[in-house]
Amino acid sequence: MLSRLALRRTFTATAFNPYKVTVLGACGGIGQPLSLLMKLNDKVTDLRLYDIKNAKGVATDLSHIPTNSVVTGFSPEQPDGLSNALKDADVVVIPAGVPRKPGMTRDDLFNINAGIVLDLAKAAAKSAPDACILVISNPVNSTVPIVSEVFKKLGVYNPKKLFGVTTLDSIRASRFVSELANTDPTGEKISVVGGHSGITIIPLLSQSQSANALSKEQKEQLIHRIQFGGDEVVKAKNGAGSATLSMAQAGAKFANAVLNGLAGKEGVLEPSFVDSPLFKKDGIEFFASPVRLGKDGIQEILDIGKLSPEEEELLNECKDSLKKNIDKGIKFVDSKH
């Protein structure tokens, strides 16, 4: 049998771009399919899976897939399990935490997930301070500010490398528009900006030819469906969780875009909830909009473009909630220091 070092040499000799990716919360509903998709990504050569349960099992299972990466499972029971999972990672994806049950909003998850994200962010700041951090755990509007505050307090904050994953909102929007407009869903690109929860999610239908051609009533229903699309899944799963498979696809799509940026590919654009100058004048520190990804993470934060009067209204409604969600995350970290 080849030693781990020999395996790594064999892989890196043939790999185009060798990247280390860590998934924190790798054994949950999102974590498992997301880890599978990361195992299938040829830019990933070192895949580390960390969870409070079953990481070794999931890693061993994935390790039998003949792609160009070594997969390792890490658990809190191992000495330095978390720090070894994170050490020198290029990309850290965080889907750790509890999902919603019917009737819950994302904000209802705050009490449990804020603490989980805080602890994981502290570990990441110490062991992978240069990594791109991709936060999936909800409420994203608050968990992203939690990570930024932790990194700031530990003196390693780089706003170009912190991302709230909002890709699911855009892929849902593309799908829902294509169903109504009878178009190819793979060709639909709907810009969704703002935040990642209810009315903070703002689909910019006026910027899409096929969406804009729909009736006023269809557009109103569509906006509501995109804002509350996650509830459809929570309701259908009836207590067994929220979106996992579509989210894994969304997370893998975004992680792949970040890796493409790191690898120097040109023209990589994806929406993300980031530390943004766009509405700082209104006291909003984080905002989701299209970002250009590059070798150092965010290369450019793009403007949200021209809005219809109805979209301007949605933006105004979003701002208050978004600001409260962001402040809640920041205050949570302050209360722990």
CA distance 72 to 63: 8
**Where does the chain show beta strands of DSSP type E?**
19-24, 44-50, 70-74, 91-94, 132-135, 162-164, 192-194, 201-203, 268-275, 286-294, 297-301
Query: With contact defined as beta carbons under 8 Å apart, do 43 and 263 qualify?
Result: yes
Phi, psi of 194 (to 5 degrees): 105, -110
Q: In terms of CB distance, is 268 or 288 closer to ligand NAI?
A: 288
Residue 200 Cβ, how far from ligand NAI at the closest point, in Å?
A: 12
Structure tokens at 122: 């502290």
Residue 87 Cβ, how far from ligand NAI at the closest point, in Å?
A: 16
Is 31 marked as binding a ligand? Answer: yes
Structure tokens at 130: 């240069």
Residue 175 Cβ, how far from ligand NAI at the closest point, in Å?
A: 14
Q: In terms of CB distance, is 171 or 262 closer to ligand NAI?
A: 171
Is 100 marked as binding a ligand? Answer: yes
Is 283 marked as binding a ligand? Answer: no
* Site of interaction with ligand NAI (CB under 6 A): 24-25, 27-31, 50-53, 95-100, 109, 113, 116, 119-120, 136-138, 140, 165, 168, 196, 241-244, 247
Is 81 marked as binding a ligand? Answer: no
The residue at minimum Cβ distance from ligand NAI is: 28
Q: In terms of CB distance, is 113 or 174 closer to ligand NAI?
A: 113
Is 137 marked as binding a ligand? Answer: yes
Per DSSP, the three-state class of 30 is coil
End-to-end C-alpha distance for the chain, whole angstroms: 49
Q: In terms of CB distance, is 54 or 221 closer to ligand NAI?
A: 54
Pairing of strands 132-135, 91-94: parallel
Is 158 marked as binding a ligand? Answer: no
Residue 148 Cβ, how far from ligand NAI at the closest point, in Å?
A: 16
Residue 172 Cβ, how far from ligand NAI at the closest point, in Å?
A: 9
CA distance 336 to 118: 9
CA distance 114 to 285: 18
CA distance 217 to 111: 37
Neighbours of 278 (CB within 10 A): 17
Q: In terms of CB distance, is 95 or 329 closer to ligand NAI?
A: 95
Active-site annotation, residues: 196
**Residues tagged in the binding site annotation:** 25-31, 51, 100, 106, 113, 136-138, 172, 247
**Residues tagged in the binding site annotation for NAD(+):** 25-31, 51, 113, 136-138, 247
**Residues tagged in the binding site annotation for substrate:** 100, 106, 138, 172
